[in-house]
C-alpha cells in the first residue's frame, strides 16, 4: 500500500512543477506564550472543493463558513500543569476546547509530539485519569514539503482501582481488583496537494496534509487469580464506545501562520466534511489572565432578549467598562459603569442582535478582569 502511495506521488512530481509550492519550517511550531485563534463551522453548504485529487496549483474555498464557536488555544509553560512531573520532557501545555484537561506537547527542532494528557477519560466514565502516550505521537514535523509521508504509532495503558470505577463496570465484574483502558494509535500523514485556500477573512498559500488515524480502544479487568481479562464485549455486545475508529482529516498548512489554516474532519465514508476548525480572522480578543478580585457571570445562556452580567468588586466607586464582542472580534455594544462594593448587576438589551456567539469583556482601568461567552438565539 505504501509503495502504491509513493508511486502516485512520484507521478505527481513528474506532472507538476515543484517551484510553486511552499515549504513549512519549524518557525510555525508552537511556543510558550502563543495564543492560537480558531473558529469552528459545520455548515455543509459552505464547504466547497475539498475533495480534490492529489496535485498542485489547486484552489479550495471555505469562504462562506460561519463560526459556531471560537477557541483561543493558549500555549502555557508545562510546569503550570497539575501533573507536569509525569511529563518531564514536555515543552508546552494547553487546554483543549471546552475542557480543563491538560495536553502536554514536546517540541524539538524538527517535530512536535503529543505526549498525552490528564483529564476526563474519552469513554464517558467520568474519571479524571492520566493518559501517557508511549512513544509520543507525532503531531507535526519540519520542514514540510509536497510528497512528504510520515507514519507514527503510540500506545496508552491507564489503570485505576475498582473503587474508582463507575457502576457500568463494577456491575459487570463485582469481584474486580482494578480496571485499565488500552488505546493504540496508528497515524499516517501524506502531503498530497498544494495551492491556495480561502477562509473567512483571507486567502493563504497552503500544503494539504491528508491524515488517517486508526484509534483502537479496549477495557480490561484484573481479577485474581486470572490476571487481566479483556471485557470490551460481554456476550458479544459492546458496553462502551470501544473498538477501532478511523479518523480522516485534511490539514491545510501555511508557512507563516502558527494556526493550521483549516482542519476538515471527514465522515466515516470519507465523502463528506462533518466539521471545520479554521484560523479566526481577525483574531478574537485574546484569552485573559484574571486579575484583582472581580469575578463575572453572564446569564441566561442562551439568551434572547436581555443579558445580565453579574460581577463582584471590592472597591467602591471603581470604574468598569463592559464590551460585547461578536464572533468576528468586533464590538457591537459597550458602556462605562461605576461599580458598587460587592455585588453588581448589569442588564444588556440584545433582542436586536443577530443570532450567534458573543463574548462579554469586563475591564477595569483598561485591564481585562473577566469575560463570559454567551449564545444569542
The CATH number of the domain holding residue 312 is: 2.60.40.3080
The Cα–Cα gap between 90 and 75 comes to 12
- Identify whether 285 is part of a domain: no
List the one residue out of 213, 192, 195 whose CA is nearest residue 139.
213
Residues 87 and 200 in one domain: yes
What local confidence, expressed as pLDDT, does residue 342 receive?
64
- Provide the percentage of residues in the chain whose pLDDT is more than 70: 85
Based on the fold, state whether residues 218 and 348 are members of the same structural domain. no
34-59 in b/e form (b: 16+ CB < 10 A) is ebbbbbbbeeeebbeebeeebbbebe
Return the closest-CA partner of residue 177 out of 127, 232, 128, 229: 229
Domain boundary, last residue among 254, 279, 304: 279
Report percent pLDDT > 90 for the chain. 50
C-alpha distance from residue 280 to each of 3, 194, 233, 299 (Å): 38, 21, 42, 26
Using 50, 70 and 90 to split pLDDT, how confident is the model at 345?
A: confident
314 pLDDT band (50/70/90 cuts)?
A: low
Claim to verify: residue 178 and residue 129 sit in the same structural domain: yes
Residue 167 lies in a domain: yes
- Confidence label for 157 from pLDDT (cuts 50, 70 and 90): very high
Q: What is the largest CA-CA distance in the chain?
A: 73
Residue-wise pLDDT for 18-38, tens only, equals: 446 899 999 999 999 898 999
234, 355: one domain:
no
d(CA 58, CA 47): 15
Residues 221 and 329 in one domain: no
Flag whether 225 is in a domain: yes
Residues 18 and 148 in one domain: yes
Same domain, 65 and 179: yes
Residue 291 within a domain: no
Q: Which residues contact 235 (CB under 8 A, 6 or more apart)?
A: none
Is residue 2 within a helix (H) or strand (E), and if so which, with residue range? helix 2-15
Q: What mean pLDDT, rounded, does the chain reach?
A: 85
pLDDT tier, 124 (very low <50, low <70, confident <90, very high otherwise)? confident
Among candidate residues 28, 329, 112, 286, the one with its CA nearest the CA of residue 200: 329
Specify the number of domains making up the chain: 2
Residues 114 and 244 grouped into a single domain: yes
One domain, residues 219 and 300: no
- Predicted confidence (pLDDT) per residue in 189-246, tens digit: 999 999 999 999 889 999 999 999 999 999 999 998 999 999 887 655 566 778 899 9
pLDDT digits (tens, 9 = 90+) for 90-115: 999 999 988 889 999 999 999 999 99
pLDDT at 134 over 80: yes
SS3 7: helix
Q: Does some domain include residue 287?
A: no
CB 69 within 8 A of CB 357: yes
Is 286 a member of any domain? Answer: no
Provide the pairing of β-strand 178-199 with 55-61: parallel
Are 271 and 302 in the same domain?
no
pLDDT for 276 equals 94
Among residues 279, 307, 328, the one where a domain terminates is 279
Confidence category of residue 366, pLDDT binned at 50, 70, 90: low
Residue 260 pLDDT greater than 90, yes or no: yes
User: pTM of the entire structure?
Assistant: 0.71
Task: Give the range of the structural domain holding residue 369, as residue numbers without chain letter.
Answer: 296-376
Residue 339: is its pLDDT beyond 80?
A: no
* Statement to judge: residues 28 and 117 lie in one domain: yes
Average pLDDT over residues 130-147: 97
Based on the fold, state whether residues 225 and 172 are members of the same structural domain. Answer: yes
Q: Is 136 inside a domain boundary? A: yes
Task: Identify which of 7-21, 56-70, 246-260, 285-299 has the greatest average pLDDT.
Answer: 246-260
pLDDT for position 288: 35
- 139 occurs within a structural domain: yes
Amino acid at each position: 500500500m505504501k509503495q502504491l502511495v509513493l508511486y502516485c506521488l512520484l507521478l505527481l512530481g513528474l506532472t507538476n512543477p515543484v517551484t510553486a509550492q511552499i515549504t513549512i519550517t519549524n518557525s510555525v511550531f508552537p511556543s510558550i506564550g502563543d495564543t492560537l485563534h480558531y473558529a469552528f463551522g459545520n455548515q455543509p453548504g459552505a464547504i466547497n472543493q475539498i475533495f480534490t485529487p492529489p496535485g498542485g496549483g489547486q484552489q479550495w474555498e471555505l469562504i462562506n463558513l460561519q463560526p459556531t464557536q471560537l477557541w483561543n488555544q493558549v500555549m502555557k509553560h508545562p510546569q503550570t500543569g497539575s501533573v507536569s512531573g509525569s511529563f518531564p520532557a514536555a515543552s508546552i501545555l494547553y487546554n483543549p476546547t471546552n475542557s480543563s484537561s491538560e495536553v502536554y506537547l514536546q517540541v524539538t527542532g524538527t517535530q512536535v509530539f503529543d505526549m498525552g494528557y490528564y483529564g476526563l477519560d474519552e469513554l464517558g466514565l467520568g474519571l479524571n485519569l492520566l493518559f501517557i502516550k508511549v512513544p509520543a505521537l507525532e503531531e507535526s514535523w519540519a520542514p514540510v514539503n509536497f510528497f512528504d509521508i510520515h507514519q507514527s504509532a503510540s500506545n496508552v495503558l491507564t489503570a485505576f482501582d475498582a473503587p474508582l470505577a463507575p457502576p457500568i463496570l463494577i456491575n459487570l465484574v463485582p469481584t474486580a481488583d482494578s480496571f485499565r483502558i488500552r488505546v493504540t494509535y496508528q497515524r499516517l500523514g501524506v502531503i498530497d496537494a498544494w495551492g491556495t485556500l480561502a477562509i473567512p477573512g483571507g486567502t493563504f498559500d497552503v500544503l494539504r496534509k491528508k491524515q488517517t488515524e486508526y484509534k483502537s480502544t479496549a477495557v480490561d479487568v484484573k481479577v485474581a487469580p486470572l490476571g487481566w481479562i479483556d471485557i470490551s464485549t460481554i456476550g458479544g455486545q459492546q458496553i462502551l464506545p470501544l473498538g477501532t475508529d478511523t479518523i480522516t482529516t485534511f490539514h491545510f498548512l501555511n508557512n507563516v501562520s502558527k494556526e493550521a489554516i483549516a482542519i476538515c474532519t471527514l465522515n466515516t465514508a470519507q465523502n463528506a466534511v462533518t466539521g471545520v476548525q479554521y484560523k479566526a480572522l481577525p483574531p478574537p480578543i485574546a484569552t485573559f489572565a484574571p486579575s484583582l478580585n472581580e469575578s463575572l457571570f453572564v446569564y441566561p445562556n442562551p439568551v434572547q432578549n436581555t443579558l445580565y452580567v453579574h460581577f463582584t468588586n471590592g472597591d467602591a466607586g471603581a470604574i468598569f467598562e463592559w464590551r460585547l464582542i461578536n464572533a468576528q472580534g468586533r464590538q457591537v455594544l459597550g458602556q462605562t459603569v461605576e461599580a458598587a462594593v460587592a455585588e453588581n448587576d448589569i442588564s444588556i438589551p440584545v433582542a436586536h442582535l443577530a443570532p450567534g456567539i458573543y463574548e462579554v469583556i469586563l475591564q477595569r482601568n483598561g485591564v481585562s478582569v473577566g469575560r463570559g461567552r454567551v449564545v444569542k438565539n
